[in-house]
Structure 1
Amino acid sequence: MDDLLLNSKLPEQDRAGTTWERELLEKLAMETLKEQRLKRRWGIFFKFAFLALVVASLYHFSEYGTAEMENLGHHTALIEIEGSIESEGSGSANSVIPALNRAFSDAGSVGVVVRINSPGGSPVQAGMINDEIGRLRKEYPQKKLYVVVDEICASGGYYIAAAADKIYVNKASVVGSIGVLMDGFGFTTLMDKVGIERRLMTAGENKGFMDPFSPQTEKQKVFSQSMLNDIHEQFIDTVRRGRGKRLKETPEMFSGLFWIGSKAVEMGLADDFGTIDTVARDVIKAENIVDYTQKEGLPERVLKKFGASVGQGAIKALSKTNLPSLR
């Protein structure tokens, strides 16, 4: 308002000059603002471009390890299985089987060592890896596959190890647990006390089978136990086929118990004591060790770091509830 009053009192020429100056200042300000915005946009662009280049480079090196190099010479091929045997991770068939194929097919690999440090997991994943080891041993009879046990090789981990030519352990390693379990929870009694009604509608008498909020019938318990027994027999047959006459069977051997490495050697569950280095040097006679383990890609690691896998892990955990497990 003060500007309007002031301009009304100024001569017409002065008002025109003031308007021109304001317009010029506004144009200069707008041009400066545009230039700053443009600089910021280009700065953001170059930052993202540089980040993309770094990510692409890291991804390239994470996907292609030392096993992709040429002229490796005679060497011991190493594959590591760490953690649970699941559909994802280093213990999954999708990770282990391609690594096994590369290790066996490489002309420079003299023998293969699989290092296992696993409490067990999926009988399906363990079974697929066991079958593939058997196939590759027949296809490449001149190459031996040895398992070296780290801290623990139990249940599903031992299911895989049973396919090896020989199993090496530490005296204190944990070995065995040849059994199957299927666990879950039942909340029906608690719901009755609290006064909660479960409303589950199904088409099919057993479609709600193993639902933790519904009572379990005796027929369903019998069915579950029968399924576990069948998988257990598959496990036992696999161990007997892999270990052969080396096994000194006892009633407890297939009961789900586990033993330290020194006892496992006595029982025939393992062959001797050794490490990756001693097996490569003294058994395979190729001290140069090349890691063929299929490493986790950079995108997966980044997602986990920033917590994007939390929801996926929860969904995966829910989807696995009540599935048979070699643990």
Structure 2
Amino acid sequence: MPGSIGVQMGNQLRWVNMSDEWKASAVGESDDKSWKLLEKTLLAGVQEQRRSRRWGIFFKSLTFIYLFAALALFAPLLDLQEGVKGGASHTALIEVRGMIADKEMASADNIVGSLRAAFEDSKTKGVILRINSPGGSPVQSGYIYDEIRRLRAEYPAIKLYAVITDLGASGAYYIASAADQIYADKASLVGSIGVTAAGFGFVGVMEKLGVDRRVYTAGEHKAFLDPFQPPRDDEARFWQGVLETTHRQFIDSVKQGRGDRLKSAEHPELFSGLVWSGEQALQLGLIDALGNASYVAREVIGEKELVDFTVKESPFDRFAKRLGASVAEDLVMWMGFQGPSLR
């Protein structure tokens, strides 16, 4: 019935007239209830998604912790399996790969530990130091050089041969010069007997930006390597003297290791920092012959079986290193100052 609404009263249904205003109110209440119901439905869906997301994060974190713990538990076992050596006599192989620096795979701690294990093994017939490195820290290189010479004196029956693959430059050649003999490929890059220290200067940029550098020090030259201040002539001369002293130490070590095999008298540029091919290096006395690790093991040492004594990163170490790479430390070093480097 138009303009009326049925109302139940007891067992009878009666029709009641509605005013236009009351009808509008009834329709508004109905719409409001619909929106509230829709809002509740949407909120319930969002809350369900949030709960699902939280549980997903929880289970992913739990899986991550489980894998991390598993790596921590089984990494030592994997290292033990890698450390199992052959039963017969063998040629010990040690890799020197990448930058020679503290906390790197080619650090003095790692290389020295590998060398000691190789020389102390009663089945080692000879040792090959396989090198593919641009050099690095003069301190780390010096540690390895000194340990090679000490082990050679302690175990005179075991010869150590350096084999340069792609690159044996600067600090890497410093290490190689301590060996009984050095081998390389005809196209290998060998030499670079020099020292470098690099940094950046930001004085001009700061002037353009209108930025003042304020440094407070106790000691006249305490901030002499500050890249945000202009260099002074007296400090530049001092730093050049430090580099030349390190260079002289490098040259003395190479001469001690190579002896009369070096053709430095005829080629004074040998210590200038230049790098040569393996074929040229042979003529200069920087290496003794051309050949690779397999050749040296088979033809020179006489034991073709190679056993790797290189200290390896465990899966746990590799995983942890990827998580916590020290990018900030490297950035600070390169922006400000990088110490002397045999490169």
Q: Normalising by structure 1, report the TM-score.
A: 0.81
In structure 2, the CA distance between the partners of 1:65 and 1:135, relative to structure 1 (3 Å rule), is farther
Identity of aligned residues (%): 46
Whole-Å separation in 1 of the counterparts to 2:65 and 2:236: 59
In structure 2, the CA distance between the partners of 1:197 and 1:233, relative to structure 1 (3 Å rule), is same
1:224 equivalent in structure 2: 239
1:97 equivalent in structure 2: 112
Does residue 323 of structure 1 match 2:309? Answer: no
What secondary structure, in the 3-state scheme, does the structure 2 residue paired with 1:202 have?
Answer: coil
After TM superposition, list the pairs within 5 Å mapping 1:183-194 onto structure 2.
183-194=198-209
C-alpha RMSD of the superposition: 2.1
What secondary structure, in the 3-state scheme, does the structure 2 residue paired with 1:112 have?
Answer: strand
Whole-Å separation in 2 of the counterparts to 1:287 and 1:135: 26
Residues 210 and 322 in structure 1, CA contact (< 8 A), matched pair in contact too: no
Q: Residue 201 of structure 2 aligns to which amino acid in structure 1?
A: G
What secondary structure, in the 3-state scheme, does the structure 2 residue paired with 1:185 have?
Answer: coil
Q: Normalising by structure 2, report the TM-score.
A: 0.77
Whole-Å separation in 2 of the counterparts to 1:234 and 1:191: 38
What secondary structure, in the 3-state scheme, does the structure 1 residue paired with 2:271 have?
Answer: coil
Does residue 77 of structure 1 match 2:92? Answer: yes
1:269 equivalent in structure 2: 286
2:141 equivalent in structure 1: 126
Q: Structure 1: state its 5+ residue gaps.
A: 1-39
Whole-Å separation in 2 of the counterparts to 1:157 and 1:52: 35
In structure 2, the CA distance between the partners of 1:63 and 1:316, relative to structure 1 (3 Å rule), is farther
Whole-Å separation in 2 of the counterparts to 1:53 and 1:228: 46
Residues 131 and 163 in structure 2, CA contact (< 8 A), matched pair in contact too: yes
1:86 equivalent in structure 2: 101
1:301 equivalent in structure 2: 318
Residues 65 and 292 in structure 1, CA contact (< 8 A), matched pair in contact too: no
Whole-Å separation in 1 of the counterparts to 2:89 and 2:70: 34
- Give the counterpart of 1:314 among 323, 328, 331: 328
Which digits, 9 at most, give the CA deviation of each residue in 1:97-147, with x for residues without a partner?
010000000000000000000011100000000000000000000000001
- Give the counterpart of 1:157 among 164, 167, 172: 172
Whole-Å separation in 1 of the counterparts to 2:90 and 2:217: 58
- Give the counterpart of 2:273 among 243, 248, 256: 256
What secondary structure, in the 3-state scheme, does the structure 1 residue paired with 2:94 have?
Answer: strand
What secondary structure, in the 3-state scheme, does the structure 2 residue paired with 1:168 have?
Answer: strand
In structure 2, the CA distance between the partners of 1:52 and 1:183, relative to structure 1 (3 Å rule), is closer
What secondary structure, in the 3-state scheme, does the structure 1 residue paired with 2:163 have?
Answer: strand
What secondary structure, in the 3-state scheme, does the structure 2 residue paired with 1:153 have?
Answer: strand
Q: Report how far residue 299 of structure 1 moved.
A: 2.3
In structure 2, the CA distance between the partners of 1:44 and 1:323, relative to structure 1 (3 Å rule), is closer
Whole-Å separation in 2 of the counterparts to 1:167 and 1:73: 26
Which digits, 9 at most, give the CA deviation of each residue in 1:173-193, with x for residues without a partner?
000000001111111122223
With 296-305 and 164-173 compared, the bigger mean Cα shift is at: 296-305
Whole-Å separation in 2 of the counterparts to 1:261 and 1:275: 12
Whole-Å separation in 2 of the counterparts to 1:278 and 1:65: 27
After TM superposition, list the pairs within 5 Å mapping 1:8-27 onto structure 2.
none
What secondary structure, in the 3-state scheme, does the structure 2 residue paired with 1:239 have?
Answer: helix
